[in-house]
Structure formats: C-alpha cells, structure tokens
C-alpha cells in the first residue's frame, strides 16, 4: 500500500526528506543570507541556536538548527519542581523490575481527565537519562488538550510517538504537525511543543531515546532504497505567534521529574529556522516491505523503520520495527516467526487490526507485550497448528493491521505502574500461549538411532600405540 488513507484530512504543509538540511520562513526575508548570526537579524529578531549534538560531532552526525525568534527561550523565571506530577515519568520513585517472564498487557485505559503531560506513564526502560544512555518506554492516554499558554519539552531524550487512537495536533517551535493513527512522530530532545486533541481522547506508545538520535538503517545488499525511504519523512514549515504580554508556562521533563517555569511571551515565536535538528513525521503505510520469495522466514530486522545504533556495529540501543500488511509466498516454510530466544529485548504494541502471529484476541490494539533478553517466545499453540497445516499458497497477511516493536540490546526493567498499578498484565499469558503446545516427535519404524558416544576402548589402544611409536 503506497500510503495510508486517513479519515482525518491533512491540514498543514511540510518539507520532505529524512536527515535533510531544511530551511523555512514565515515572513519573506526573515532568514539571514550568508550568515547565521548577523549583528542585527532581520526584523529585529533574536538569533538562537538549538544543538542536538555536541558542536564537535562528526559532520555526518552533527545536528543543529538556527532559530530566529521574537524573544529567546532563556527569558523565563526559574524552573521549580512540580512534585505532585513527578511520579508520572520518574523511575526514581518506583522500583524497576528486571524479570525473565514473558509479559502481555490488555489495552491501557483511556483517561479523559488529563492532558498530554499528565497522561504520560513510564511502563519500562533501561539506562539513565543523566548519562544519556538507554531508553524509556511510555504509554500515553489523554482526553484534554494542553492549555493555550503551555508548552512541554523533554530534556531526557527524543520522543518517538506511535499513535494508536485519536489525533494529535502538535504545535512545535518549528511549526505544526498533525499525527493520525498509522503515522509516527519524532520530537527531538529539547524541542518545545503543545498538544491539542481535535478528535477527542488519544492513546499510544512512546519510545524515549536517551542515547543519540534515530537514523535510517543501513540497507546493505538491499541497495539504495526500500524499507522507509527518506523522501517520505515530513518536517514542519515555520509558523509563529506574536505575544509578548501574556503569561505562559514551560513544563520540563528533566531526569524524569517535571519542572515548570513561567514567562511573559509565547514559546511559539520562531519566525524562521534552518538546520538539521527538527521534529518530523512518517506515514507507516509508505514502508516498502522486503521479504523472501523463495523459502524460509527472514529475520525481523528487514522491518526496521528507524534505528539508534550503539557503539558496537550492528547492535542497536533501540530499533523501531513494524509488521505491516504484506505478501507471504515462501515454499515449504513455516511462515509465522519461529520460536526464539533473543539477546535483544522486544516490546510490542498493536496499532490496529489483528497481529498474524497471535490468535485468540489476547494481543489487542492499545495493549502490549514484553519479551526480555533471552526470554523464549514465538507463535501461540493455535497459530503454530494452523501454520503447520496450512496449504502454502501465496497469501496476504495483516490486512488492516499494523503491529510494531521497540527492540533494544538493553535488559528492560518494568516499573511498579507497568507491573502492578495499571492492572493490565495478563496473568495467564504464558499458559494461554505456550504451555498448551503438544509434542509431535515420532521416530518411524526402521530408522536407526545414532550412537554418538565415544568408544573408550579404541581410544585407549590408540593412545598406547602413539606412545609406542614416540
């Protein structure tokens, strides 16, 4: 499918390209020409640099953006803690449980009483945002738009937002982004934004990346295109408000705690910008899936949309993987995923439809599962039986469905909220899925059993013979 057919029409313009150098201005001539920081920027604007990497990062990794705004971001009161909400996203106040059990959650509840900021719940994670290493996995469920005079940002990491229900109308410093189910959005560390809910309550998943930034995976022998193509990513165009007499709140997520500062000017006053550090969105329906056309089931890495590599080549701190509608044609092949134990942790969610590797309705849209490092998993008993007996004709799987996976090389811990307080953990997940598997092993009559034990007698004679000749 070349693109998703959305029920909510697009309302904004965008610039296309992943990792592209973009520039945009809401007033003609607002961008300086031939200089980043002239003595007097056009129209009396202030110059501000937003740095997503260190100044001395290699050129191919360097991400910075120049902003030209009515007033700089520094003009605000001191940040003060918001203790009554800090436990929403703060792992320090809740024990992280590292456990080998397979986990699956029923769909998380919609909460119409809270806005975006207060609807964030940390489910699982690993690492430490103070060291810029690791990930956080959050669920969001909200029913109210943020206040007109509010903005939020995370200093801890980049937010990869996977919307499952509703519509997000996101006003960022660099412009507007509309996000609908089957679209994802990435908002980099430090970018300030405000979330409106034009179609009512929303629910979804967030992969917060403490380490570096997401990039497109290398394609290797695949060639120069397929999977997620760079041209299909969309960045906002400049849009600004002009208010220097109001009262605004800036909410900061800083090491999991929430802080708030006030200021007398809108944070959305960027008239023009240029650079490589900006929010963007992507329609998952544009993913060009690769698969086997002969036999065997390829590794799920062929479904990787975005990756955040570690220092070890080929190993990711985080991968974002999807399982879209696709054709299966493999001959003499068990087509669902094989049973496996993985050195990577796998957190899965379902945006819509039914995941083809699970049956019985236990894995539902808005729910999730976690198979931690080396925790054995695979198709449930019913799926295994059907796939083992199916007539292997070409077939399309996942029609109307979209499942995804956050994969990480780190051992993922689960918070108290994720394990207990949410009350969504399916206690019978293992029993329903795998303890019902039956043995089918049989040795036909006349088949010789191999005896691969070492015969001690000849071995001793051989040793004696070698000694004699020496």
Res 462 pLDDT > 80: no
Mean pLDDT on 336-356: 93
Q: Which of 250, 280, 310 is the last residue of a domain?
A: 280
Residue 5 lies inside a defined structural domain of this protein: no
Q: Give burial (CB, 10 Å; 0-12/13-18/19+) of 293.
A: exposed
Mean pLDDT on 143-150: 97
pLDDT level of residue 352 (50, 70, 90 thresholds): very high
What pLDDT is recorded for position 456?
62
User: Are 165 and 263 contained in the same domain?
Assistant: yes
User: Are 295 and 363 contained in the same domain?
Assistant: yes
pLDDT level of residue 460 (50, 70, 90 thresholds): low
What pLDDT is recorded for position 457?
57
Cα–Cα distance between 318 and 412 in angstroms, integer? 11
For residue 12, what are the CA distances in angstroms to 86, 199, 239?
33, 16, 10
Residue 206 lies inside a defined structural domain of this protein: yes
pLDDT level of residue 433 (50, 70, 90 thresholds): confident
Question: Domain containing 320 — which CATH number?
Answer: 2.60.120.10
What's CA 459's distance to the chain center, in Å?
A: 58
Quote the pTM value: 0.93
Find out whether 169 and 178 touch, Cβ atoms under 8 Å: yes
pLDDT level of residue 86 (50, 70, 90 thresholds): very low
Annotated binding site for Fe cation: 340, 377
Mean pLDDT on 270-275: 98
User: Are 294 and 271 contained in the same domain?
Assistant: no
User: Are 226 and 326 contained in the same domain?
Assistant: no
Q: Which of 280, 315, 346 is the last residue of a domain?
A: 280
Annotated binding site for homogentisate: 346, 355, 377
pLDDT digit string (tens) for 154-175? 999 999 999 999 999 999 999 9
Residue 451 lies inside a defined structural domain of this protein: no
Mean pLDDT on 73-90: 74
User: Are 262 and 344 contained in the same domain?
Assistant: no
Residue 73 lies inside a defined structural domain of this protein: yes
Res 363 pLDDT > 60: yes
Of 133, 297, 312, 440, the active-site residue reads 297
Tell me which of 361 and 383 has the higher pLDDT.
383
Res 431 pLDDT > 90: no
User: Are 401 and 359 contained in the same domain?
Assistant: yes
Cα–Cα distance between 186 and 404 in angstroms, integer? 15
User: Are 245 and 375 contained in the same domain?
Assistant: no
Find out whether 435 and 387 touch, Cβ atoms under 8 Å: no
What pLDDT is recorded for position 88?
52
pLDDT level of residue 87 (50, 70, 90 thresholds): very low
What pLDDT is recorded for position 458?
56
What's CA 319's distance to the chain center, in Å?
A: 7
Cα–Cα distance between 1 and 128 in angstroms, integer? 39
Residue 176 lies inside a defined structural domain of this protein: yes
User: Are 179 and 52 contained in the same domain?
Assistant: yes
What pLDDT is recorded for position 357?
77
Q: How many domains does the chain have?
A: 2
User: Are 126 and 259 contained in the same domain?
Assistant: yes
User: Are 40 and 136 contained in the same domain?
Assistant: yes
Find out whether 419 and 122 touch, Cβ atoms under 8 Å: no
Residue 236 lies inside a defined structural domain of this protein: yes
Res 260 pLDDT > 90: yes
pLDDT level of residue 470 (50, 70, 90 thresholds): very low
User: Are 75 and 151 contained in the same domain?
Assistant: yes
pLDDT digit string (tens) for 292-305? 999 998 899 999 99
pLDDT digit string (tens) for 201-228? 999 999 999 999 999 999 999 999 999 9
* 274 catalytic per annotation: no
Q: Which of 264, 280, 296 is the last residue of a domain?
A: 280
pLDDT digit string (tens) for 38-77? 999 999 999 999 999 999 999 999 999 999 999 999 999 9
pLDDT level of residue 436 (50, 70, 90 thresholds): confident
What pLDDT is recorded for position 336?
87
**Which of 357-361, 387-391, 464-468 is predicted least confidently?**
464-468
Which structural domain range is residue 85 located in?
A: 14-94+110-280
Residue 203 lies inside a defined structural domain of this protein: yes
Annotated binding site: 340, 346, 355, 377
Percent of residues, the chain, with pLDDT higher than 90 = 82
pLDDT level of residue 101 (50, 70, 90 thresholds): very high
Residue 25 lies inside a defined structural domain of this protein: yes
User: Are 139 and 236 contained in the same domain?
Assistant: yes
Res 25 pLDDT > 80: yes
């Amino acid at each position: 499918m070349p693109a998703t057919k959305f029920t909510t029409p697009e309302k904004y313009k965008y610039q296309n390209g992943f990792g592209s150098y973009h520039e945009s201005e809401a007033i003609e001539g607002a961008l300086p020409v031939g200089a980043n920081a002239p003595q007097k920027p056009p129209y009396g604007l202030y110059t501000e640099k937003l740095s997503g990497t260190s100044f001395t990062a290699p050129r191919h990794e360097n991400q910075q953006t120049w902003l030209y705004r009515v007033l700089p971001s520094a003009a605000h009161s001191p940040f003060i803690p918001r203790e009554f909400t800090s436990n929403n996203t703060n792992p320090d106040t809740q024990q992280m449980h590292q456990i080998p059990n397979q986990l699956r959650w029923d769909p998380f509840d919609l909460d119409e009483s809270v806005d975006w900021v207060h609807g964030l719940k940390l489910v699982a994670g690993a690492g430490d945002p103070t060291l810029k290493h690791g990930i956080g996995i959050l669920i969001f469920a909200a029913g109210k738009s943020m206040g007109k005079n509010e903005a939020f940002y995370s200093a801890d990491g980049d937010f990869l937002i996977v919307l499952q229900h509703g519509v997000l109308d996101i006003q960022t410093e660099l412009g507007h982004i509309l996000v609908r189910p089957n679209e994802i959005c990435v908002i980099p560390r430090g970018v300030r934004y405000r979330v409106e809910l034009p179609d009512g309550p929303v629910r979804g998943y967030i992969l917060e990346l403490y380490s570096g930034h997401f990039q497109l995976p290398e394609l290797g022998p695949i060639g120069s295109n397929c999977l997620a193509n760079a041209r299909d990513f969309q960045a906002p165009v400049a849009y600004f408000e002009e208010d220097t007499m109001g009262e605004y709140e800036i909410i900061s997520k800083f090491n999991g705690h929430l802080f708030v500062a006030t200021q007398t000017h809108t944070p959305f006053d960027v008239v023009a910008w240029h650079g490589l550090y900006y929010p963007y969105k992507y329609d998952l329906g544009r993913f060009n899936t690769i698969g086997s056309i002969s036999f065997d089931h390829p590794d799920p890495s062929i479904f990787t949309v975005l990756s955040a590599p570690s220092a070890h080549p080929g190993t990711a701190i985080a991968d974002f993987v999807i399982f879209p509608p696709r054709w299966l044609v493999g001959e003499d092949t068990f087509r669902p995923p094989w049973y496996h134990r993985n050195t990577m942790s796998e957190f899965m969610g379902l945006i819509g439809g039914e995941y083809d590797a699970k049956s019985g309705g236990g894995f539902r849209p808005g729910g999730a599962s976690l198979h931690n490092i080396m925790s054995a998993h695979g198709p449930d008993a019913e799926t295994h039986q059907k796939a083992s007996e199916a007539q292997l004709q070409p077939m399309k799987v996942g029609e109307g469905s979209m499942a995804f996976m956050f994969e990480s090389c780190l051992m993922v811990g689960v918070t108290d909220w994720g394990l207990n307080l949410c009350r969504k953990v399916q206690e019978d997940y293992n029993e329903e899925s795998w303890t019902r598997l039956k043995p089918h092993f049989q040795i036909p009559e006349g088949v010789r059993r191999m005896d691969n034990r070492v015969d001690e007698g000849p071995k001793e004679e051989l040793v004696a013979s070698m000694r004699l000749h020496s």
